[in-house]
Amino acid sequence: MAGQSPHLTPDEVRHIQEAFARRRRPGSFEPGRWAVSPYNRDASVLGAPFPDHYPHSTTLRDITLRVIEQAPGVTVDRAQRRRIGEAILEAGVPEIEVSAHGWGMSPSDLRDEVAHLKSIRPDLGIKMGATQTEAMVDIAAEVGVTLAEFWMPALPEATPIYWSEAYRTSWAGGDWRTLGVPTTLDQEIERGIQLIARIRSHGLRASTGINLLTLVDDNHLERYCTAMHAAGVDEIWLSDGAAGIGPEGWNHIISLVRRFAPGCRIGTYIRNAFGLGVACALAAVHAGAEVTEVSVNGISATAGQVDLAQMATALEVLYGVHTGIRLDQMNTLARLVEDISGVQVSAAHAVTGRGAHNWGGTEIVVQELKVEPLLHWAYEPSLVGAEKEWIVNRTSGMWTVQDKLQQLGLHVDREKIPLVWQAIVDDVTVRHRALTDDEIRAICARITAK
């Protein structure tokens, strides 16, 4: 977007741009083309081993209630938020994030939402993010959350862009520079120590985040995480909003945070710009992250983020990691959020897409089901509340057509089955879709009447 920043002077903008340029390395930063983490091309990072096992269990924190209205064109009312929250808890999610104050919800609305969620699951972990000031921390305590989080950019010079109070203050005619916005790593550390003390004074658990993680380097991780650990932070949250870090980079970052902040819980927020959201989140869990933030259907802005159903299913099925998520609720939950948000997932969306468990009609993949139903299937669709499906199309053979007719309770003489197949293929070609059972019945009635 062209134009002048509303609250930064040209010199301040130039200062941030120069700091950004200093952090980049050739190859990972191509001006006007891309900007990703240098870790992705670092031989020592790419060659670093992962641990020899996954953890026994991990935590998935659902943040749908925070991010759903970031999705373009989506607005949800309080009743819809309540229904989504109820369904998420019914699916076994142990932790959830609500909206931050000032992001469209008043403290009283947030208090009611938190109270309702706790009435369903008293032990629920509830996070509020963006508690960047003492006043915001106090509101988090007032509304009843259990975890308050503040974050600092991996590029400290850019903090004024991401400090929400700076915009509110400048809009009201004030000077945001009087707010004490940290713009160096030393200032971020000092401010973080103050906020941790304020959060803990309310009896809440404290989380500190590093956002703009694509720009982080080893020195920043060491200094910031060591200081936050010493200050008593409970969780270090790592946010790659740009999705510029690959799986190997996540292994490297998590390994360093574990070294610099032993005993701190590590959480991740990973977006899906390259379709690698779940892969990166799995790498982070493998490396030692204890919390993965997810949303139903991966809903959010741009390409979305880590999908609850995909992440839970991959952890449970591929790696045997216990999540506590009710996998059989995943498709029901996906349909609910589609209906409320108006945002439909692709038919081929893994785990919860309407066509995710339809192998088409190729003779070999249909007939193999009579021999071993898991030859071409990594898991039974019933595991995630779906059904295994197959159709008749141009790739189907006569045995598959016969099976479909038997499934529908139809008897057609063997010599007429090729005619049925041809009629189905012709109709599919015209309609550009698979036929319904009733349409197949109508074709059979027409052919058998001849």
The model's pLDDT over 237-248, given as tens digits with 9 standing for 90+, comes to 999 999 999 999
- What was the pLDDT predicted at 327? 98
Does residue 312 surpass a pLDDT of 90?
Answer: yes
Does residue 3 surpass a pLDDT of 80?
Answer: no
Look at residues 68, 59, 113 and name the one whose alpha carbon lies nearest to residue 301. 68
Mean pLDDT of all residues in 415-426 = 95
Mean pLDDT of all residues in 69-98 = 96
Fold of 22-33+41-341: TIM Barrel (3.20.20)
- What was the pLDDT predicted at 102? 63
Q: Strands 147-153, 125-128: parallel, antiparallel or unpaired by DSSP?
A: parallel
- What was the pLDDT predicted at 401? 95
The DSSP secondary structure of 324-385, one letter per residue, reads: ---GGGHHHHHHHHHHHH--PPPTT-TTTSTTTTB-TT-HHHHHGGGT-TTSS-SS-GGGGT
Q: Strands 291-294, 265-270: parallel, antiparallel or unpaired by DSSP?
A: parallel
Residue 340 identity: I
- What was the pLDDT predicted at 87? 98
- What was the pLDDT predicted at 23? 85
- What was the pLDDT predicted at 25? 85
Banded model confidence at residue 450, pLDDT cuts 50, 70, 90: confident
The model's pLDDT over 328-338, given as tens digits with 9 standing for 90+, comes to 999 999 999 99
Q: Strands 95-98, 59-62: parallel, antiparallel or unpaired by DSSP?
A: parallel
The model's pLDDT over 357-396, given as tens digits with 9 standing for 90+, comes to 999 999 999 999 999 999 999 999 999 999 999 999 999 9
Alpha-carbon torsion, ordered 212, 214, 215, 219, to 10 deg: 110
Does residue 351 surpass a pLDDT of 90?
Answer: yes
User: 97 - beta bridge partners?
Assistant: 127
Mean pLDDT of all residues in 76-86 = 96
Q: Answer for the pair 92, 59: CB distance below 8 angstroms, yes or no.
A: no
Does residue 122 surpass a pLDDT of 80?
Answer: yes
The model's pLDDT over 221-265, given as tens digits with 9 standing for 90+, comes to 999 999 999 999 999 999 999 999 999 999 999 999 999 999 999
- Residue 286 in tokens: 């493998």
| C-alpha–C-alpha distance, residues 215 and 249, integer Å | 12
Structural domain boundaries in the chain: 22-33+41-341, 363-448
| C-alpha–C-alpha distance, residues 46 and 37, integer Å | 12
Does residue 343 surpass a pLDDT of 80?
Answer: yes
What value does the mean pLDDT of the chain take? 95
Residue 42 identity: D
What percentage of the chain exceeds 70 in pLDDT?
A: 99
Greatest C-alpha distance within the chain:
88
B/e letters for 370-406, b = 16+ CB within 10 Å, e = fewer, are eeeeeeeeeeebeebbbeeebbbbeebbeebbbbbbe
Does residue 164 surpass a pLDDT of 90?
Answer: no
The model's pLDDT over 25-45, given as tens digits with 9 standing for 90+, comes to 889 999 899 999 999 999 999
| C-alpha–C-alpha distance, residues 248 and 46, integer Å | 6
| C-alpha–C-alpha distance, residues 348 and 358, integer Å | 9
